[in-house]
Amino acid sequence: MTQLALFDLDHTLLPCDSDYEWGQFLIRIGVVDQQFYAEQNDRFYQNYKDGNLNIDEFLRFALKPLSEHSRKQLKEWHDAFMKEVITGHLRQEAIDLVKRHQDAGDLCCVVTATNSFVTRPILAHFGIEHLIATEPATTGDDPCANFTGEVKGRPNFREGKIQGVNDWLRTQNLTLEKLSRSYFYSDSMNDLPLLEKVSNPIATNPDDRLRVEATKRHWPIIELFA
């Protein structure tokens, strides 16, 4: 029977938050108001870590810059972001973790609240095909259509990750119940709803709140990053 391996991305497979780092990158290249954007980026990041992020407010903030520039320009910036930021945060320990599941024949997927524009190019470095992420809305169905600054569907956050996984599994003619085993690796207490749904929850580089919860529930705890 099929086994499933789900991975959060930020602070799980990466030792950084790609959403936050993308915001910091936009500040450095001068395409957003530096003081305002830095203050808001820091505020939302702290709210996320504290477990009280207003996801709708954050996404209005995070997706707005995407709506103000062409896809061609955004791709040029993202290519630079990958080279300047993400490649330096790739860790062999995380790549090896994914490869162990791939070698076992497990179906692998990244499940992240960070939007797909930021995250999809990162998956190639892990050899992962499938991504469930928050989807930015576009002006049309063309792959090059510009972004609107809104969210398409439901944000892939907290309980939204459960819906996202279930919807994706249906496209694979699967359900969690049909799987012989399902893993979910995450660092964040925000992911507790999905961790509770899989057969094998694994706290990975966990934040303080998830570490306490995982210890209480006797879930495995692993540290990928020194």
Say how far apart CA 184 and CA 169 lie, in whole Å.
14
Residue 47 tokens read as: 């709210």
Say how far apart CA 189 and CA 39 lie, in whole Å.
24
Edge-first strand listing for the sheet containing 181-186: 147-152, 130-138, 107-115, 3-7, 181-186, 200-204, 221-222
Residue 90 tokens read as: 């790739």
56 given a catalytic annotation? no
103 given a catalytic annotation? no
Beta strands at 147-152 and 130-138: parallel, antiparallel or unpaired: antiparallel
User: Bridge partners of 97?
Assistant: none
Residue 93 tokens read as: 């320990």
Q: Give the number of C-alpha atoms closer than 13 A to the C-alpha of residue 42, restricted to the C-beta side.
A: 7
Q: Catalytic positions, please? A: 8, 10
